[in-house]
Amino acid sequence: MTTIVIAEDDELQAELARRYLTREGFETTVVGDGRSALEAVRSSVVDLLVLDVMLPQMDGFAVCRALRAAGDETPILMLTARSEEDDLLVGLELGADDYLSKPYSPREMVARARALLRRRRTVDDGPVTVGPLVVDPRRHEASVGGAPIDLTRAEMQLLTLLAEHAGLVLSRPQLLRHLHGSDEYTTERTIDTHMKNLRSKVDAVFDGPELLRTVYGVGYKLVDPTATEPEADAT
């Protein structure tokens, strides 16, 4: 059975989330502070952590940071009463996979949880190489020109998808479907945030031609600077 830990100090909110997730067939555990959330994930097999930002003892950001620093890849759905872009960026940069701003619909929370669980799959393919870029999703490793890039789970998934379709423009809805399993309960803003972070990380270690490009009004694409473009595409 799929196990979900709900880290929420508001008892009413926690009970509501537990009821909805249990009704969907998930095994749930509720904890009321950050340290308990960290211990729950570390001490047992957890498939998803629903993590409130404002927790006693350790806030959600600290819990997320500690888990990712230890190499723990448990999917994290972050709950926050903060809607400012900077707070959302912090959560995603620390390695959270998705977020919900309070107040939220319990049904939307369940839908996002299901989408994150669908994303958790074993990657059997080997490394993908596009010019100076090498992406190995199985090992969660990426490098550009031999320089390693430290990526979050979501950034790795997006970069892998773009590498697998190098030279092609992928729309935001396409990227959303890959990232969340469904684009019904999320927004394109999440993709833009991840891509902004991803581009800055690549640019920080690679001084060559631009690899990640925005196609305005359409989406994003990964370019192989070593490839020769067809003459028909020349301008």
Under a CB-based contact definition with an 8 Å cutoff, are residues 181 and 115 in contact? yes
Angle separating helix axes 188-205 and 172-180, nearest 10 degrees: 90
At 210-235, the pLDDT tens digits run 999 999 888 999 998 876 443 333 33
At 123-132, the pLDDT tens digits run 445 788 999 9
Task: Give the angle subtended at the CA of 172 by the CAs of 170 and 178, to the nearest 5°.
Answer: 80
Q: Using the 8-state DSSP alphabet, how is residue 232 labeled?
A: G
Residues pairing with 49 in the sheet? 5, 76
What are the tokens at 211?
A: 């690899």
At 29-72, the pLDDT tens digits run 999 999 999 999 998 889 999 999 999 999 999 999 999 998 88
Would you state the pLDDT for residue 89? 72
- Asked if omega into 148 is within 30° of 0 (cis), the reply is no
DSSP 36-98: HHHHHHHHS--SEEEEESS-SSS-HHHHHHHHHHTT----EEEEES---HHHHHHHHHHT--E
What are the tokens at 23?
A: 């009704």
Q: Is the pTM of this model over 0.75?
A: no
Distance (Å, whole) CA 11 – CA 214: 44
DSSP 143-179: EETTEE----HHHHHHHHHHHHTTTS-EEHHHHHHHH
What are the tokens at 68?
A: 């990712």
Please state which of the ranges 48-52, 59-63, 97-101, 177-181 shows the lowest mean pLDDT.
177-181
For the cut 70, the answer to whether the pLDDT of residue 82 exceeds it is no
Would you state the pLDDT for residue 2? 87
